[in-house]
Amino acid sequence: MQPADKLTQSKIDLTLSGEKTQDEIKLEQSGDIDALQRYRRNVVHQIEYPYTGRALELLRIEQDLRSTVQEEQTLAKKPETTCSWPIYRNDVQAELQALNKRYWLLERQWWKVRNSFVEGPLIRAFDLWRSHPLWYMHRILVEDCVRRGGCCSRSCGCCVDRKIDKTRQLGAGHCMVLCGCCHRARGFELTKKEKMELLTDFHIVNDGSLYRLRINRVSIWGLSLDSHDSPFDMIVIPPGCEKVVLKEQMAKGKAEQVDETFILIDEEENEEVGASGY
Ligand SMILES: [Zn+2]
Ligand SMILES: [Zn+2]
Ligand SMILES: [Zn+2]
């Protein structure tokens, strides 16, 4: 049998399915993150990679994780008027225990789904984008939070740093319907029906809308149709929240990757039509 290097020299293709191609390696070496992620996404879509739908499932679980964390924080907060626990404290404890279990189970689900596409261009792209602790502060996701009336529309800084425990890191991100800070800022209650409508309008990951396509694409790949900049350069901090980020970033040694300005961009044009999945 000939040694492997001789076989390689004779131009026999030894690449396994899902392995990096020469083009991907070249793009990686070039340092052009936008081009690299676009290339990986195109490869995934061309080969009809069997696990693409699973990535959407991951986003659905992440929304449930965020919702659970925000509900936990709301329940755990002492009422500001009395600064003491109300008489239903035992009920609160029971609810918190139930939420703790819910988070634990969702986290296991998240890993189960992530393990289903453990190799290949999709996970290489996903892991690269998610290596930044503030990936969800991509300006498209911040814009979306602002438009939904979330904390990014104020200077409270909740989305940048929810002050959550290390065990709750998968629940970091933008406001869901149950965010306590948003509830206090609104100053009125939403009915169950209204909450359900908000969930339907903004949080169905596979509803096929261009809106969701845009949110899903940036959440998985860090890509948008508006720019060819590196996704890491698209991370923005809303005005008034810079101090929170500086503290956070200094701790993580990533200060150089975060913009100091926050610019709303108009995405009405350049929408992608007919693309599948995300
Ligand atoms: Zn909020
Ligand atoms: Zn807030
Ligand atoms: Zn936000």
Q: Ligand 1 centre and the CA of 25: distance in Å?
A: 41
| Distance from residue 176's CA to the centre of ligand 2 (Å) | 11
Q: How far is the CA of 21 from the centre of ligand 2 (A)?
A: 44
- Cα–Cα distances in Å, from 229 out to 31, 123, 137, 222? 12, 21, 15, 10
C-alpha span between 160 and 173 (Å, rounded): 7
The pLDDT of residue 9 is 57
Ligand closest to CA 175: 1
Please tell me the number of the ligand nearest to residue 158's CA.
2
ipTM > 0.90 (yes/no): yes
Cα 195 to averaged position of ligand 3 atoms, centre (Å): 18
Q: Which ligand has the shortest distance to the CA of 174?
A: 3
Tell how far the Cα of 181 is from the centroid of ligand 1, in angstroms: 5
For the chain, 278 residues long, the average pLDDT of each consecutive 10-residue run is 56 82 95 97 80 86 97 81 59 91 98 91 95 96 96 94 92 96 95 95 93 96 95 90 62 43 39 42
How far does residue 141's CA lie from ligand 3's centre (Å)? 8
pLDDT value of residue 254: 42
221 within 8 A of 125, measured Cβ to Cβ: yes
Burial 126-148 (b: 16+ CB within 10 A, else e): bebbeebbbbbbbbbbbbbbbeb
The closest alpha carbon to 153, from 130, 133, 182, 117, belongs to: 182
Distance 6 CA to ligand 1 centre (A): 60
If you measure from the C-alpha of residue 264 to the centroid of ligand 3, how many angstroms do you get, rounded to a whole number?
Answer: 13
| Residue 29 to residue 104: CA distance in whole angstroms | 39
Reduce the DSSP state of residue 269 to 3 states and report it.
coil
Smallest-distance ligand from the CA of 236: 3
Q: Report in angstroms the alpha-carbon separations of 44 from 40, 51, 194.
A: 6, 9, 38
Interval between CA 114 and ligand 2 midpoint (Å): 30
> Given this model, what pLDDT does residue 112 score?
95
- pLDDT for res 93: 87
**Which ligand neighbours the alpha carbon of 182 most closely?**
1
Is residue 142 within 8 Å of 169, Cβ to Cβ? no
**Contact status, residue 211 vs residue 234, Cβ threshold 8 Å:** no
In the chain, domain spans? 28-257
